[in-house]
Amino acid sequence: MDRVERFTNHQSVSSQYELLDEMMDCYGQAIQQLVYTYVKDYATAEDLTQEIFIKAFKKLHTFRHQASVKTWLFRIAMNHFKDYLKSWHYRQIVLDNDFVHNTIANEVQIEQRFMQQSEEKRLANAVLKLPLAYREVVYLYYYEEWTTREISQMTQKNENTIKKRLNRARKLIKNLLSQEESE
């Protein structure tokens, strides 16, 4: 049992604040990176990460120790940013940002053709281009080093579905990278 899980047994207000600090220290970066893979914007990812920890703090009394604190937080995070992606605010911001991005894209594309990207950056960009279902499992499997079983439990999907998504994601990434090389 890690320090965060031990804190969840205490009910005093000061220990709850200590728990929030501990959760943010232990899992803040991982949650923020996961959120970024969905929203693809650092400022929004930071805002959503804060909202996720506030939500977790308010729901601390519902933690039942059936899973690890990390799994519980990731579940809250996934539900939170999926709700965000469905929101009116997100849809409006994305449309506005797409318009601005497409206007500037021609100028940026010219510069980008002459800049060589590192393999790591190219791979990260390819992952971000994947459909959400594939991006999610790739992030959890490769970046968080979760097993397919753990991902299955957290996403409430069949383990074979997770394996199939990983396999398809690998093929899509390979195709994206080879298309990029041929351009």
What pLDDT, on the 0 to 100 scale, is given for residue 88?
A: 61
> Do 128 and 37 touch, CB atoms closer than 8 A?
yes
pLDDT, tens digit, 9 for 90 and up, residues 13-23: 567 778 778 88
Give the start-to-end residue ranges of the domains of the chain.
1-87, 117-183
CATH fold of 1-87: Rna Polymerase Sigma Factor; Chain: A (1.10.1740)
Percentage of the chain surpassing pLDDT 70? 75
> Do 79 and 35 touch, CB atoms closer than 8 A?
no
CA distance 137 to 133: 7
CATH fold of 117-183: Arc Repressor Mutant, subunit A (1.10.10)
Predicted TM-score (pTM) of the model is 0.59
Average pLDDT of span 36-55? 87
CA distance 133 to 127: 11
What pLDDT, on the 0 to 100 scale, is given for residue 13?
A: 59
